[in-house]
Amino acid sequence: MPGTQREVNFRFLAQPTDVNFGGKVHGGMAMKWLDQAGYACAVGWSGAYCVTASVSGIQFLGPILIGDLVTVRARLIHTGTSSMHLAVDVLARDLRSGDERLATSCVMVFVALDRPDGGRPTPVPSWVPKGEDDLRLQEYALKLMEMSRAMEPLVTAIRQKSAI
């Protein structure tokens, strides 16, 4: 039911087809997992089709190896009118030792649309933070949004000058 499930977790084993030439999981594969878990969380929360609007603060903190148990965790940390800001993390567990580490982390913004084809942004149920951890994460989302808005004029100017 929309507005009830704040978190989505995917769990699977890192496979030989996921790795790069150095034997570690591709950064691009980790980004695909982030987008998929974020999408599932955003659609579940909003009950609408959603598109990815931005990815901020992405960090690749450590390698993911073949056979690691991967957990991709997407958590809602702020809602606007039609936007949902999610903290999305990839954790990797060595099954033999049981050690789990944070491998990749970012904040993604998804926007709910009223229909998949040529849809317009549509309101989502609002999420209310509970407790200090939620408030800290919401503050982080708002700070990242502020920083990304501050960068927009620079990005636009560079794009226009360089015809990107």
With beta carbons less than 8 A apart as the criterion, state whether 113 and 50 touch. yes
Residue 92 vs 113, nearer CB to ligand COA: 113
Residue 122 interacts with ligand COA (CB under 6 A): yes or no:
no
Residue 15 vs 81, nearer CB to ligand COA: 81
Q: Which of 57, 80, 125, 129 binds ligand COA (CB under 6 A)?
A: 80
Q: Which of 34, 77, 109, 141 binds ligand COA (CB under 6 A)?
A: 109
- Of the candidate spans 2-10, 13-21, 51-59, 65-73, the one that interacts with ligand COA by CB under 6 A turns out to be 51-59
Residue 82 interacts with ligand COA (CB under 6 A): yes or no:
yes
Residue 125 interacts with ligand COA (CB under 6 A): yes or no:
no
CA distance 16 to 26: 11
CA distance 55 to 69: 24
- Of the candidate spans 41-49, 80-88, 93-101, 127-135, the one that interacts with ligand COA by CB under 6 A turns out to be 80-88
Q: Which of 76, 106, 107, 111 binds ligand COA (CB under 6 A)?
A: 111
CA distance 70 to 33: 10
With beta carbons less than 8 A apart as the criterion, state whether 88 and 106 touch. yes
From residue 130, how far is each of 33, 62, 75, 144 by CA, in Å?
27, 30, 13, 20
Residue 5 vs 81, nearer CB to ligand COA: 81
CA distance 54 to 74: 15
What string of H, E and C letters represents the secondary structure of 111-129?
Answer: EEECCCCCCCECCCCCCCC
Residue 39 vs 91, nearer CB to ligand COA: 39
- Of the candidate spans 3-11, 23-31, 79-87, 128-136, the one that interacts with ligand COA by CB under 6 A turns out to be 79-87
Q: Which of 54, 57, 60, 101 binds ligand COA (CB under 6 A)?
A: 54
From residue 65, how far is each of 26, 83, 91, 106, 109 by CA, in Å?
10, 34, 11, 20, 28
